[in-house]
Amino acid sequence: MRPIRSLLCLLTLVSLLPAQPTGAAMTDDNPFFSPFATPFGTPPFDRIRTEHFLPAMMKGMEEQRREVNAVANDTLPATFANTVEALDRTGDLLGRVTAVFFALQGANTNDSIQAIAAEVTPLLTQLQDDIYLNERLFRRVKTVYDARSASGLDAERMKLVEDYYASFVRGGATLAPEAKERFRAVNEELARLQLKFDENVLKETNAFRLVIERRKDLDGLPKSVVDASAEAATAAGLKGKWLFTVKKPSMLPFLTYAKNRDLRRQLLTAYLKRGDNGNEHDNNALAARIAALRVERSALLGFPTYAAFSLDRTMAKTPKNVYDLLDRLWEPALRNAKRERDAMQAMVKKEGGSFTIEPWDWWYYAERVRKERYDLDENELRPYFLMENVRKGVFDLATRLYGVRFEERKDITTYAEDVTVFEVKEEDGTHVGLLYTDYYPRAGKQAGAWCGAFRSQEKRDGRNIAPLVTNVGNFSKPTAGQPSLLSMDEVETLFHEFGHALNALFSDATYKGLSVPGDIIELPSQIMENWAFHPEVMKTYALHYKTGKPIPAALVGKIAKSATFNQGFATTEYLAACYLDMDWHTLKSTVPVESASFERAALERIGLIPAVPPRYRSPFFLHIFSSPYYAAGYYYYIWAEVLDADAFEAFKENGLFDRATAAKFRRHILARLQADDAMTQYERFRGRKPDIAPLLKRRGLE
């Protein structure tokens, strides 16, 4: 559940750059040194080599230095065109190379890429600081900002001016000289620590292996899971054994079906202990130091906490408003989770067990209770969720709602063999953009799922620059004897990330520097989940992978009846992570806390029951510690869920596939969300402010 990944606008340059490298990577064979001469300007992955990245980024920073200096040193009076718009147009080369580089760092990294990231991250942080702390440039931006009301700018240009001005202020432009120096130092240290946190989690994730040598330890596991683990073992040089990892496509089926309770304990404990093993990859001290530095950074800017700083530009506005929403949901969610735990405990007793339900029991007994209560076994569903069919199903849904179609392009090179590229076209054949789908785990891929872009949409000289969008996941891989068959959660995730992709593909903005509040960015993705298991949509994709027959109506009915099952657990584990995030970022001291005791106190305060761990523990909470995007922002998903549940009511009222409603949603939300105030855009779509009631009903929390 990650948002569109993008760098902050790297609009500045470094005062003292390292000497330029020499050799082949700096000659004309470096594909980044000119616009890509490929179909649609796609990255030429057949030509890109790792050694191309650093020279291209260095040259990109050098070029941007000249461009930014030209804006800052312009002798003409500052105007929108020669200052704000000109600033927005800088950095083409740097943007081209960093978009590809950081996409690979997340989806297909290696030691060389990680080493480059460690070298270049401080330089990119300096780039950002240099522009925001450039006094001459800030004076010009402020001049345009102060005159904006009388300048005759349209709404989009007005918002661009306001977004840039806010970025300068929040980037330290108004600080005193000595404060600016400390601000730079804090930013540089944060950049290094956040990168290190990310690297540690990846290494910890890849390090653990549960190797099973006795077949009886596989009791309860479906044949497909056993076969996949045998293939994984063979690939790891352990032929004749079975291998499980803490990556979710491997771990969750084991937790759900394995009868061996001790092995379930070992696997989940390893997952929950990532970054918390007292070794060279331990993240506890890093998390505490990152949080403390964020306090200091926020205080320099005049905010009492990092959360106050972070939320100032969101729809929520204040930490109190976030806590109020979490508190409203917490008690009913916790009550539901306790009822679910009690139902599982009753089953343990019924089967003659005497142990108390622990976290490693939850998935196993939840599946048992679901089967007993609804006669629904997820293994019955997987054969109907062939990945290719699910992907086609979400494409068909987009065609039905918005008229677009998707055509596979085999002439476009990719960065891995299991990446597939689709051209997206309007009904009349007009090119919209490209979508790269990358759905399977690999050693060099970070956990989770996200949407990114090799190029974002913008307009130049009256010409639309079409986006190149990526959807990345870690879904169940095909094996020698079986194709990729998805779980319900993976189906929902595929729909979710595709919603982000539509947002990126349908973007109709002129400028790349326009911002969107984080707590509405999940609306386009989460609303897509509402269609995932709708009977009319399932008809198009839920076809048995062997027979091609559609999923039986009885199974569809069971899915509908069990829609709120286990929602106590799902809501509670998520909200617990939200509280943990907010507690970290409402700290006021610049002295690092002791991470483990801080986390323990945060979870005890809300009364989280021992059987439910938070979705993310501090040492592997990548959302909030590997970058600032979700810091004090993990609540974004639930805030946006209020919006998506309410927005979906419009489709219920007018027809789930009503083209007029879809066109209105595309126009105001998917295409132009960044062009005006977020709540204003939502009200233009819905005709009123959002209502929380549909969310409470959906999650069974009324």
Q: Please state the rounded mean pLDDT for residues 192-203.
A: 96
- Listed residue (2, 9, 1, 54) closest to 674, CA to CA: 9
> Which residues does residue 386 pair with via DSSP β-bridges, in sequence order?
485
Pair of tokens at residue 371: 């089967």
- Listed residue (502, 491, 272) closest to 401, CA to CA: 502
* H/E stretch holding 683: helix 678-686
Question: Contact at 8 Å (CB) between 205 and 247?
Answer: yes
The per-residue pLDDT for 200 is 97
Distance CA 274, CA 268 (A): 10
Tell me the residue length of the chain: 702
What is the DSSP code (8-state) at residue 313? T
Distance CA 163, CA 87 (A): 12
What are φ and ψ of residue 87, in 5° steps? -65, -40
Alpha-carbon separation of residue 389 from 59, 383, 499, 589 (angstroms): 44, 11, 17, 52
Considering the chain, what percentage of its residues have pLDDT values greater than 70? 96
Distance CA 414, CA 47 (A): 11
All CATH 1.20.1050.40 domain ranges of the chain, comma separated, are: 24-132+134-170
- pLDDT confidence bin for 481, thresholds 50/70/90: confident
The per-residue pLDDT for 698 is 87
* H/E stretch holding 437: strand 431-438
448 alpha carbon, distance to own chain's centre: 8
The per-residue pLDDT for 21 is 38
- pLDDT confidence bin for 56, thresholds 50/70/90: very high
* H/E stretch holding 449: none
Q: Give the residue ranges of DSSP H helices in 464-621.
A: 488-505, 523-532, 535-541, 553-561, 567-584, 595-606
Q: Exposure pattern of 312-322 as b/e (b: 16+ CB <10 Å)?
A: eebbbeebebb
Note the maximum CA span of the chain.
Answer: 84
Distance CA 310, CA 289 (A): 18
Q: Using one digit for the tens of pLDDT, what is the confidence trace for 617-646? A: 999 999 999 989 999 999 999 999 999 999
Q: Which amino acid makes up residue 340? A: E
Q: Exposure pattern of 77-115 as b/e (b: 16+ CB <10 Å)?
A: ebbbebbbbbbbbbbebbbbbbbbbbbbbbbbbeeebbe
* H/E stretch holding 51: helix 50-72
Pair of tokens at residue 438: 């990358």
pLDDT at 266 over 70: yes
All CATH 1.10.1370.40 domain ranges of the chain, comma separated, are: 383-561+636-698
What are φ and ψ of residue 314, in 5° steps? -105, 175
Q: What is the mean pLDDT of the chain?
A: 94
The per-residue pLDDT for 540 is 95
Task: Look up 213 and say whether it is catalytic.
Answer: no
The per-residue pLDDT for 22 is 36
Q: Please state the rounded mean pLDDT for residues 366-393.
A: 95
**DSSP letter string, 146-200:** HTGGGTT--HHHHHHHHHHHHHHHHTTTTS-HHHHHHHHHHHHHHHHHHHHHHHH
Q: Which amino acid makes up residue 157? A: R
What are φ and ψ of residue 700, in 5° steps? 65, 35
Query: Which residues, other chains included, contact 286 with Cβ-Cβ below 8 Å and sequence gap of 6+?
Result: 193, 196, 197, 200, 625
Question: Contact at 8 Å (CB) between 132 and 12?
Answer: yes
Pick the CATH number of 24-132+134-170 from 1.20.1050.40, 1.10.10.60, 1.10.357.10, 3.40.228.10: 1.20.1050.40
pLDDT at 241 over 50: yes
3-class SS of residue 465: strand
Question: Contact at 8 Å (CB) between 590 and 189?
Answer: no
The per-residue pLDDT for 699 is 84
pLDDT at 403 over 60: yes
pLDDT at 15 over 60: no
Considering the chain, what percentage of its residues have pLDDT values greater than 90? 92
Q: Which amino acid makes up residue 593? A: V
Q: Kindly name the residue from 231, 497, 529, 599 that is annotated as catalytic.
A: 497
Question: Contact at 8 Å (CB) between 444 and 109?
Answer: yes
Q: Please state the rounded mean pLDDT for residues 28-37.
A: 91
The per-residue pLDDT for 326 is 97
- Listed residue (66, 52, 129, 145) closest to 96, CA to CA: 52
Task: Tell me which of 677 and 537 has the higher pLDDT.
Answer: 537
Q: Using one digit for the tens of pLDDT, what is the confidence trace for 685-694? A: 999 999 999 9
Q: Which amino acid makes up residue 367? A: E
- pLDDT confidence bin for 701, thresholds 50/70/90: confident
Distance CA 223, CA 225 (A): 5
Pairing type for strands 468-472 and 431-438 reads parallel
CATH 2.60.40.10 fits 383-561+636-698, yes or no: no
- pLDDT confidence bin for 18, thresholds 50/70/90: very low
Q: Using one digit for the tens of pLDDT, what is the confidence trace for 169-189? A: 999 999 999 999 999 999 999
pLDDT at 20 over 60: no
Q: Please state the rounded mean pLDDT for residues 343-359.
A: 96
- pLDDT confidence bin for 28, thresholds 50/70/90: low
* pTM assigned to the model: 0.92
685 alpha carbon, distance to own chain's centre: 25
Q: Using one digit for the tens of pLDDT, what is the confidence trace for 574-587? A: 999 999 999 999 99
The per-residue pLDDT for 27 is 53
